[in-house]
Structure 1
Amino acid sequence: MKKRVVWSIFILLAFLSSACKSSQKEAYVQVAPFDESLMELPKLTVGTKGEFISYCGFNLSYNKEWLIPNWVAYELTKEETQGTASRKKQHFQADPNLDRCAENSDYSRSGYSRGHLAPAGDMKWDSCAMTNCFYLTNICPQDKDMNAGCWQTLEEKCRVWARRPEGSLLIVCGPLVRDTEKRIGRKGVVVPNGFFKAVLQKREMGYVGIGFLFPNKESHLPFSYYAVSIDDVERFTGFDLFHNLPDSIEDSVEAKFDYKDWGLIEPETTILEDANFLKGEQ
């Protein structure tokens, strides 16, 4: 499925933005109806603040108060797991089109990695997409070990799953913010307590989905420990994910998952049994 720029959304957003007061410009605008090609976009809860931005290769809701995205969503096809666009000449930068955005200096000497939400490894199919994914609107402060460990492992597994013959993946990911007290840099970039990712794929027997929850800290637990249902992700985030699915399919695919569908071994315990994580402690 090719990437799309939905002009109707831009037109409506431009009109609404010009008609609103400055305080209202911060409010996330849910434009409906979305067609199936935008199934990856979540429906936010009322009151969530964010600016919808459509980049080459992915879409996101950017929270200008937190200076991190609320979520990032995109489709990943088999073809897009391949490509020649290199990250070697890329550098992290503020989105020049935004009036308020995190800066590189906010991350310098902070002790946190600049963690991609839409990863560079998923954007090498196009040089524009590769450049866009290095905008700091697509970045969160991540624990260095978490970034190079379980988060990177999940990114790699998503590319493996996208190469299955059945079809592409729909991916939604973002931060879990339980409090906004911990910040870095002069501008005060919020450090998330954790991160989520939800994946949906249409296979021969129907849709299958899986979610993941990670604390923003070093961990050496088995990767499958972090796997949860999409309903669990929704409970932690307050987002309605893949809401354009027919209700009967959405209810079924989000309520449960099978480790074997994703080549995972069922663990003895899961992240949902971690009392500190449930309380939002890092």
Structure 2
Amino acid sequence: MKINKRKLIFKAVLGLFIIFPSCKENETAPNEVLQPSIETVAPSVTASFDFFPTSTTGVVVQREGFAFSYSEEFEQSEWVAYVLTEQDFSNRNFNRPFFIDDPKVKTHSADWRNYKKSGYDKGHLCPAGDRKSSYKAFEETFYTSNISPQRHDFNDGIWNRLEQKTRYWAKKYNGLYVVTGGVLSDNLKTIGQEKVAVPNYFYKILMTKDTKKMIGFLVPHQDSEKPLYEFVVEVDLIEKMTGIDFFPKLPDASENRLEKTSDYKEWSF
């Protein structure tokens, strides 16, 4: 399998820095964690996303249709965030582009060939069906920074049902903030030469644009016929599992109240 040479060179150079750390005065100590710089692209749609989560990696990229925090360690994004309105899932039928690595990720996102014959789908985090306001926004969802390995019965089953319900709520509640991703942790199964991690759980967190309602879903990575409300959990739980603060810009009182509830009765199932 052909792997991006620039990525291999980057990793080799990074390894040299780990083996031979600098000890000069006023430079980073050998045991100090280095955070990559944050990359931003002049956003349009994402400019309306007022509540970006924190990043455990420091690599945050804003595109036209969504933003993401990329984890080189796990070769996928730890979260993808975007605003979803009724205009975003129009009836337009765009031609599906090929999956390609993301040029905005300096270390390069995982090569699509890691998924070949792996037994896993290239599972969208921000669904292509959620970005139909323009072809560019649609096309962006096919960067490998926006995919994660998913079982086909999961991707086509419970996860697809949750994506469709999310669109229903976006229309019903006049727009949503959406944050989604896999729970990335140690000792996960991996696929491909770049060892793309396969999450055991996926999450999706929704908040109405008026910031009055929030709901979190934590879904085991397996086929399920259970109703969606059985996967509703406190957002606080997902934060503990991921180390991410999903809505740090909310007023503390609102954040504490919304993230501590698992009551789904305010949402129309």
Q: 1:251 aligned to 2:256?
A: yes
Question: Alpha-carbon deviations, 1:179-207, whole Å to 9, x = none?
Answer: 2441111111111111111100045xx61
Q: 1:77 aligned to 2:85?
A: yes
Equivalence for 2:20: none
- Alpha-carbon distance in structure 1 between the residues aligned to 2:39 and 2:115: 31
Gap regions ≥5 residues in structure 2: 1-26, 41-46
Equivalence for 1:143: 151
Map of 1:257-272 to 2, 5 A cutoff? 257-264=262-269
> How many angstroms does 1:29 deviate by?
4.6
Equivalence for 2:36: 27
Question: Alpha-carbon deviations, 1:94-114, whole Å to 9, x = none?
Answer: 113444221121001101111
Q: 1:43 aligned to 2:54?
A: yes
- Alpha-carbon distance in structure 2 between the residues aligned to 1:253 and 1:202: 13
- Alpha-carbon distance in structure 1 between the residues aligned to 2:34 and 2:128: 30
Please point out which of 217, 220, 226 is paired with 1:215.
220
- Alpha-carbon distance in structure 1 between the residues aligned to 2:255 and 2:169: 20
Equivalence for 1:225: 230
* Inter-CA distance 223–146: structure 2 relative to 1 (3 Å threshold): same
Q: Letter of the 1:234 partner, please give it.
A: E
> How many angstroms does 1:137 deviate by?
0.4
> How many angstroms does 1:178 deviate by?
2.8
Equivalence for 1:175: 182
Equivalence for 2:22: none
Q: Letter of the 1:40 partner, please give it.
A: F
- Alpha-carbon distance in structure 2 between the residues aligned to 1:141 and 1:181: 12
- Work out whether residues 83 and 125 of structure 1, in 8 Å CA contact, stay in contact via their aligned partners in 2: no
- Alpha-carbon distance in structure 2 between the residues aligned to 1:173 and 1:201: 15
- Alpha-carbon distance in structure 2 between the residues aligned to 1:170 and 1:245: 13
Please point out which of 187, 192, 195 is paired with 1:188.
195
Q: Letter of the 2:180 partner, please give it.
A: C
Q: Letter of the 2:179 partner, please give it.
A: V
- Work out whether residues 232 and 262 of structure 2, in 8 Å CA contact, stay in contact via their aligned partners in 1: no
SS at match of 2:148: strand
- Alpha-carbon distance in structure 2 between the residues aligned to 1:29 and 1:121: 28
TM-score, normalising length: structure 2: 0.79
Map of 1:95-114 to 2, 5 A cutoff? 95-98=102-105, 99-114=107-122
- Work out whether residues 188 and 200 of structure 2, in 8 Å CA contact, stay in contact via their aligned partners in 1: no
- Alpha-carbon distance in structure 2 between the residues aligned to 1:40 and 1:76: 13
The CA RMSD measured in Å over matched residues stands at: 2.6
- Work out whether residues 208 and 257 of structure 1, in 8 Å CA contact, stay in contact via their aligned partners in 2: no
- Alpha-carbon distance in structure 2 between the residues aligned to 1:64 and 1:50: 11
Question: Alpha-carbon deviations, 1:17-64, whole Å to 9, x = none?
Answer: xxx99x977536599xxxx944331123xxx22521111100001111
- Work out whether residues 99 and 144 of structure 2, in 8 Å CA contact, stay in contact via their aligned partners in 1: yes
- Alpha-carbon distance in structure 2 between the residues aligned to 1:123 and 1:210: 21
Gap regions ≥5 residues in structure 1: 1-19, 265-282
Please point out which of 148, 156, 166 is paired with 1:158.
166
- Work out whether residues 114 and 196 of structure 2, in 8 Å CA contact, stay in contact via their aligned partners in 1: yes
SS at match of 1:259: coil
Residue-pair matches, total: 234
SS at match of 2:212: strand
Query: Which is further off, 246-255 or 130-139?
Result: 246-255
Q: Letter of the 2:149 partner, please give it.
A: P
- Alpha-carbon distance in structure 1 between the residues aligned to 2:240 and 2:34: 27
SS at match of 1:134: coil
- Work out whether residues 60 and 73 of structure 1, in 8 Å CA contact, stay in contact via their aligned partners in 2: yes
- Work out whether residues 39 and 243 of structure 1, in 8 Å CA contact, stay in contact via their aligned partners in 2: no
- Work out whether residues 85 and 126 of structure 1, in 8 Å CA contact, stay in contact via their aligned partners in 2: no
Q: 1:197 aligned to 2:204?
A: yes
Equivalence for 1:279: none
- Alpha-carbon distance in structure 2 between the residues aligned to 1:53 and 1:30: 5
